[in-house]
């Protein structure tokens, strides 16, 4: 599943191409996604201008006039493809899953603009589109989620209050979307390595300094990943056909058995499974 940096790259790509553009037509080839498309989906989008494309956590938000919104979640295998009328062989994939070209099958939705279209492809159909008619309902839609790592609300006071009386592992905490939104498995390993904190450490044992280090390093790692265009675990490319290269900066993720990259550390990167997820950390400098 794409994490916050990859979704942000898709958001930037979409905003660059469809901002202030009017939807001419919507073609629905399969309405049975994770949630069935509402019957008025086509009428809701057609002949409306996309005022801008925003994002919360791993959700892409198409902003429409009169405070209406269309939320897109890519799920496990969803991709968005930009198809230009005069360039049939161009790289189309805005996401980082599967082929950089438009697949022949599982193209469920087409949003058609003047001289180009955006196609939603999803083999596993775990992604979804949701229509929201007011800002109040948009905020309500995300009320069950914690703040984003970049939000001022994600601070030491919030951190300490959330973990009070909890004994879960810090790795489990950071992938808990109710605690902080958008951080996934890949970036948690990198954040904890940079913070010199063992993923098995119980959150009730974190001191104020360690909480602050995690907060700051969450921002550092995610901003670096966004700047580098996301992680190309499965051939991520943005609209310019540029491949994300944050994976070249991995210190621990997928480096099981290799030497630690921290200067002066002679440890080995270890892989363990926590909550059914692969977790990578140094057996020396993170103990």
Domain locations in the chain as residue ranges: 4-141, 156-282
pLDDT at site 87? 67
- Distance, CA of 122 to CA of 128 (rounded, Å): 9
pLDDT at site 239? 46
Contacts of 109 (CB under 8 A, 6+ apart): 26, 27, 28, 29, 30, 37, 119, 120, 129
- Distance, CA of 39 to CA of 56 (rounded, Å): 25
Identify the residue whose tokens are 């230009």: 84
Q: Find out whether 188 and 174 touch, Cβ atoms under 8 Å.
A: yes
* Residue ranges of the chain with per-residue pLDDT less than 50: 232-242, 244, 246
Q: What sections of 182-261 are H helices per DSSP?
A: 185-195, 208-227
Contacts of 104 (CB under 8 A, 6+ apart): none
Give the residue from 71, 35, 34 showing the smallest Cα distance to 55. Answer: 71
Class of domain 156-282 (CATH, top level): mainly alpha
- Neighbouring CB atoms inside 10 A of 212's CB total 16
pLDDT at site 101? 78
Extended strands (E) in 107-188: 107-113, 116-121, 128-132
Sign of the torsion angle spanned by Cα atoms 112, 115, 121, 127: negative
Please state, in angstroms and as integers, the Cα–Cα distance from residue 201 to each residue in 59, 156, 205, 207, 208, following that order.
30, 18, 7, 11, 14
User: Which tokens belong to 204?
Assistant: 């009730």
CATH of 4-141, one of 3.40.50.850, 3.20.190.10, 3.40.50.150, 2.60.120.560: 3.20.190.10
Q: Mind telling me the catalytic residues?
A: 2-3, 58, 277
pLDDT at site 89? 58
pLDDT at site 246? 47
């Amino acid at each position: 599943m794409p994490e916050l940096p990859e979704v942000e790259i898709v958001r930037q790509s979409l905003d660059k191409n469809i901002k202030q553009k009017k939807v001419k037509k919507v073609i629905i080839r399969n309405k049975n996604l994770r949630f069935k498309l509402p019957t008025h989906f086509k009428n809701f989008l057609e002949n409306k201008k996309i005022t801008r494309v925003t994002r919360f956590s791993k959700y892409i938000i198409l902003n429409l006039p009169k405070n209406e919104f269309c939320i897109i979640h890519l799920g496990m295998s969803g991709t968005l493809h930009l198809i230009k009328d005069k360039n049939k062989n161009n790289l189309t994939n805005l996401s980082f899953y599967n082929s950089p070209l438009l697949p022949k099958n599982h193209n469920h939705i087409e949003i058609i603009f003047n001289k180009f279209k955006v196609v939603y492809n999803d083999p596993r159909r775990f992604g979804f589109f949701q229509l929201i008619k007011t800002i109040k309902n948009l905020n309500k839609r995300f009320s069950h989620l914690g703040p984003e790592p970049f939000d001022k609300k994600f601070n030491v006071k919030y951190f300490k209050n959330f973990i009070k009386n909890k004994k879960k592992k810090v790795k489990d905490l950071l992938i808990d979307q109710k605690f902080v939104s958008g951080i996934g498995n890949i970036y948690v390993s990198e954040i904890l390595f940079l913070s010199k904190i063992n993923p098995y450490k119980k959150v009730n044992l974190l001191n104020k300094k360690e909480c602050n280090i995690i907060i700051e390093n969450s921002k550092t790692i995610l901003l670096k990943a966004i700047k580098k265009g996301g992680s190309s675990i499965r051939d991520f490319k943005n609209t310019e056909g540029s491949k994300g290269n944050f994976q070249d900066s991995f210190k621990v993720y997928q480096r099981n058995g290799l030497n630690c990259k921290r200067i002066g550390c002679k440890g080995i990167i270890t892989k363990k499974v926590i909550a059914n997820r692969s977790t990578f950390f140094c057996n020396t400098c993170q103990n």
